[in-house]
Amino acid sequence: MFVRARSHALLRSAYLLTGDQHLAEDLVQEALARTHRAWARLHETGNAEAYARRIMYHMQVSVWRRRKVAEDLPGELPDRSDHRNENAEAITRRMTVERALRSLSAKQRAVVVLRYFEDHTEAEAADLLGVSISTVKTQTNRALERLRKLVPELGNLRAAEGTGR
């Protein structure tokens, strides 16, 4: 029941962390397998989802620490002038934002996901990732700066940046 109820939400977070559907599916599968092994103690306390998410974050941190291999992003975005209606423009904007997120380092992508997608505080994000609060602040600032350069319409991120939330 837990897997059926929470897999989609876990997969969304994993995709935002990894930037790749297949890697996200692998991350969720491993997190669910580890959660299953600890199910007896987690089920009683109701902490199964928090445990699965923490596993995903920690596994992603371990990926960062591995030796880096150059990442090549395939293809180019279509020219916006080809799109005639609002729906097509919304899709293009979403593709632009997704591509910009994929261009971030894994650490930057993780803090953006935790801070802005899952609405964690800096302290919570630091705890979940096993890093210092200053690391979260630094990575968040670098990520937002990069996103603003790649997607200028995200300039309103400045307002949310200094809130500590």
* pLDDT per residue as tens digits for the range 51-103: 898 889 888 877 766 655 555 555 565 554 544 556 677 777 778 878 888 88
Rounded distance between C-alpha atoms, residue 137 and residue 162, angstroms: 10
* Mean pLDDT in residue range 104-131: 89
Domain ranges of the chain: 2-65, 80-161
* Mean pLDDT in residue range 125-151: 90
Q: Which of 1-10, 82-91, 139-148 has the lowest mean pLDDT?
A: 82-91
Nearest Cα neighbor of 49 from 101, 4, 110 is 4
Domain with residues 80-161, CATH architecture: Orthogonal Bundle (1.10)
> Residues 147-157: pLDDT tens digits?
888 888 766 54
* Mean pLDDT in residue range 129-156: 86
3-state secondary structure of 86: helix
Res. 116: pLDDT tops 70: yes
Residue 29 pLDDT:
92
CB atoms within 10 A of CB 162: 8
For residues 113 and 133, which has the higher predicted lDDT (pLDDT)? Answer: 133
